[in-house]
Amino acid sequence: MSTDQSASLADAPISSSSTTSQRRWFAVFSIALGSFAFVTTEYMPVGVLPKIAADLGVTPGTAGLMTTTPGLIAAISAPMLLLAAGRLNRRSILLLLSVALVASNLVAALATNFATMLVGRALLGISLGGFWTVALGVSGQIVAEEESAKASATIFMGITLATVIGVPLGTFIAELSSWRVSFFATAALALAALLMQATLLPDLPPRAAARLADFGRMLTRGTVMRSLLLVALLFGAHFCAYTYIAPFLEDNASLGATWVTALLLGFGVVGFMSNFVASAFVTSHPRLSLFAMTALVMVALVALPAFAHTHGAVVAGVLAWGIAYGAIPLCLSVWMQMTSPKQPEAASALFVSAVQTAIAAGSLAGGVAVDHAGATGAMHLGVLLSALGLAVLASFATTRRTLVSVLEE
């Protein structure tokens, strides 16, 4: 065999391997596009709520059910859908959930009364819980194991982009035309994600069919219960304060609408970057990562009310908060996967349920705090919940090797 022929044969596997790797990452990006579409749809009513309320003949308070309904249903549907899925190929499930997302947007766009709108939002909740459970569970199957944290970070990227770009874009479309066109636009976005997934997703057979007994066993483990409490406290801490950040910036910090918009955009941008930076070290230093990011949230939530009249400090506080929260969802997702490495989907289902419940409860608790002590009260409550989260975190082992063995017990 000639030297040239040998070189050609040696190069072929490398080229083939490179092509396969690229295709798998495109598959991950198709799921990230799906997460962008899901989160944009979930928070779409926030920016157009008054318009929808007026058109469908309900009060703004009643219209708020459009945001709480999907979250609460997602908390229930995450484990239920996983149990119902059994040994179905996860590729097929992701495609079906993307179809349901398209349908949810179309029902909302065509709704002539509020009851129909809630049907569309309920359909979103069902598909939302299943999507996050399956997407986070299979991210490690699509790429090499050592790249699983980066794959999860890419999927979480869709959440950040939806917050930074998706929701404001939907509001902008509604201003140019109507809120119905905004939902048609998100339906088109969901359809694009569906087509991309249908083209790129590989076969994703389940590693094991989830059973009710599996959840029962997981919930009897102290490490799993403490981990779920950690997830609930840290997400609750964020949403009890962040839900009311705009009133704080306007009333306490005396900033105009342009500044508020710019700061919220900056919050999302730095969070987007932080999410990817965290993917480089969260797997090797999970406890330290969570401790550092939670401590930074606490510093920001203490500093913002204390220096509310110093605009430079407010800007620094909001950006520091954005950096911290940008990494926390990924850190907590990886943490939950470490508790049950042999049952990643079940761990993801419990993670999604805890997150959705914490978002609803945190926002509600923050609202009570705001009613009694203003937006500053909601931030102080966020500090308290973060401190409780750190106390739970401190209850785990200190070294990574010991921590991993404890989490898997």
| pLDDT score of 127 more than 80 | yes
Q: Within 13 Å, how many C-alpha atoms sit on residue 348's CB side?
A: 24
| pLDDT score of 7 more than 50 | no
Pick 117 or 147 by higher pLDDT. Answer: 117
* Secondary structure class of 131 (helix, strand, coil): helix
**pLDDT confidence of 250, banded at 50, 70, 90?**
confident
Query: Which residue intervals of the chain bear CATH 1.20.1250.20?
Result: 17-210, 211-409
Element holding 61 (H helix, E strand): helix 60-63
Convert the pLDDT of each residue in 80-117 to its tens digit.
Answer: 887 877 778 889 999 999 999 999 999 999 999 999 99
Q: If you average pLDDT over residues 393-402, what whole number do you get?
A: 71
Convert the pLDDT of each residue in 194-211 to its tens digit.
Answer: 999 999 998 888 766 667
Positive or negative: CA dihedral 348, 354, 357, 362: negative
pLDDT of residue 391: 95
Identify the CATH assignment for 17-210 out of 1.10.340.30, 3.60.130.10, 1.20.1250.20, 3.40.1160.10. Answer: 1.20.1250.20
pLDDT of residue 388: 97
Q: CA dist 199 to 103, 107, 245, Å?
A: 20, 26, 40
**pLDDT confidence of 224, banded at 50, 70, 90?**
confident
Query: Average pLDDT of the chain?
Result: 83
pLDDT of residue 120: 95
Q: Which of 119-123, 178-182, 352-356 bottoms out in mean pLDDT, i.e. has the lowest?
A: 352-356
As a residue count, the chain comes to 409
As a whole-number percent, the residues of the chain with pLDDT over 70 amount to: 88
8 A C-beta contact, residue 313 and residue 358: no
Tell me the pTM: 0.76
d(CA 301, CA 280): 26
Q: Within 13 Å, how many C-alpha atoms sit on residue 72's CB side?
A: 13
| pLDDT score of 345 more than 50 | yes
8 A C-beta contact, residue 100 and residue 127: yes
CA 13, distance to chain mean position in Å, is 37
pLDDT of residue 401: 56
Q: CA dist 256 to 144, 210, 339, Å?
A: 47, 51, 45
d(CA 333, CA 348): 7
Convert the pLDDT of each residue in 303-332 to its tens digit.
Answer: 999 999 999 999 999 999 999 998 998 899
In our burial notation (b when 16+ CB lie closer than 10 A, e otherwise), range 46-83 reads ebbbebbbebbebeeeebebbbebbbbbbbebbbbbbe
- Helices and strands, number each (H, E), in the chain: 16, 0
d(CA 351, CA 348): 5
d(CA 9, CA 399): 46
User: What is the 3 state secondary structure string of 295-357?
Assistant: HHHHHHHHHHHHCCCCHHHHHHHHHHHHHHHHHHHHHHHHHHHHHCCCCHHHHHHHHHHHHHH
Q: Which of 10-24, 128-142, 282-296, 370-384 bottoms out in mean pLDDT, i.e. has the lowest?
A: 10-24
| pLDDT score of 44 more than 90 | no
Q: If you average pLDDT over residues 263-272, what whole number do you get?
A: 84
Pick 162 or 325 by higher pLDDT. Answer: 325
Q: What is the DSSP letter of 396?
A: S
Token duo for residue 105: 């947007």
- Backbone phi and psi for residue 11, each to the nearest 5 degrees, phi listed first: -75, -30
Pick 193 or 175 by higher pLDDT. Answer: 193
8 A C-beta contact, residue 235 and residue 355: yes
Identify the CATH assignment for 211-409 out of 3.40.50.150, 1.20.1250.20, 1.10.274.10, 1.10.3720.10. Answer: 1.20.1250.20
